[in-house]
Structure 1
Amino acid sequence: MARRLSYSARYEHPTEKVYSALSSREFWDDQMVEFRKLTPQSDVDKFVVDENGVDIVLVQTLPKSDLPAIASAVIKKDMIITRKEFLGPYNPEKTEGTYSAGIPAGPGNVSGVQELFPTETGCTLRRTTEVKVYVPFVNGKLEQLILVNLVDLFRGEAEFTADWIAKNS
């Protein structure tokens, strides 16, 4: 059974500033610099901004030695994560998109929807995630571990985004 989680990053910035950051190559390159402090191989593999929106692919490699014991029992070598982010064309009322993450020959998947919308104090980027692991007996534990780590990731990315906008506006 898949597990779900919804996470909302709240910004004091208007939607157009957050969307502008998320559609900036410099933003993603700077974020990869930060990721490299934890994961030495973190790169933007694809970056397209056009009339359809923002389409990004990130590739990160986590060394097997850095994986939690339960994950390293399932993943037999370094874990290569391919993350896809998509946001549709900017809409001041609500910009919708999707995201996913996968591991080649991995035991499950992460996918979700995201929406950027205005609030009284700025805006919110809400991500609703579904995690599914196909390993009997440990699937629930792995799904929960992934969700906990996603909350930490989303929180860190929200802080980075807010700081980046403040420095680059």
Structure 2
Amino acid sequence: MATPLAFTARYSHSAAAVRAAFADEQYWKDRIAEVGGPNARLESVTVQGDQVRVEVVQAIAAELLPPAVTAVRPGDLIIPRTENWTGNTADFDVRVEGAPATMRGTITLTGDDASATATVEGTIEVKVPLFGAKIESAIQERLTELLQSEEEFTNIWLTQR
């Protein structure tokens, strides 16, 4: 059974400014360097009109993971992540290398000229008998922390421009 993922990022910038950042390769380079985790990297950013496809690889260091996770999957969690934006909506797909764990969902960006909100809705699924729900809960916690860091980074990045 999958665990729901829900997060709302609040930006002190217009929806247009946030969306423009999401289409800016330098934004992604800076973001992955700042909050991507050990050995994180930007794989690609492709922009065609109002469509943006971003592929990154992020990581969660093993020492930040609970024993329930490291017992099933020792070492850092390597997490390839893809976001496909069309206008102000994105689908995301995340997986954990070497583990039967996936996250999927949508991001919806709304707002006006003064502020914006990105609503993340999705599911986390770990197909491990007996321990799947516990691992999903641990991933949900770390993923929420990551999303909070990305929200903070985006606000700072936009303020500096």
What residue number does 1:55 align with? 53
Q: Single out whichever of 39-48 and 158-167 deviates more from structure 2.
A: 39-48
Residue pair 2:44, 2:54 contacting (<8 A) in 1 also: yes
1:152-167 aligned at under 5 Å gives the runs 152-167=145-160
71, 81, 84: which is aligned to 1:83?
81
What residue number does 1:110 align with? 103
What residue number does 1:44 align with? 42
- TM-score with structure 2 setting the length: 0.90
Structure 2 Cα separation of the partners of residues 101 and 46 of structure 1: 15
121, 126, 131: which is aligned to 1:128?
121
Structure 1 Cα separation of the partners of residues 27 and 66 of structure 2: 30
What residue number does 2:133 align with? 140
Residue pair 2:35, 2:150 contacting (<8 A) in 1 also: no
Structure 1 Cα separation of the partners of residues 10 and 41 of structure 2: 26
What residue number does 1:29 align with? 29
- TM-score with structure 1 setting the length: 0.86
Residue pair 1:64, 1:75 contacting (<8 A) in 2 also: no
Structure 1 Cα separation of the partners of residues 49 and 114 of structure 2: 28
Gap regions ≥5 residues in structure 2: none
Per-residue CA deviations over 1:1-25 (Å, capped at 9, x if unaligned) read: 1111221111121111000111111
Structure 2 Cα separation of the partners of residues 56 and 12 of structure 1: 23
Gap regions ≥5 residues in structure 1: 90-94
Q: CA deviation at 1:82?
A: 0.4
Between the two proteins, the alignment pairs up a number of residues equal to 161
Computed over aligned residues only, the root mean square deviation of the Cα atoms, in angstroms, reads: 1.9
Q: CA deviation at 1:120?
A: 8.2
Per-residue CA deviations over 1:23-56 (Å, capped at 9, x if unaligned) read: 11111111122136xx331110011011251101
88, 93, 96: which is aligned to 2:89?
96
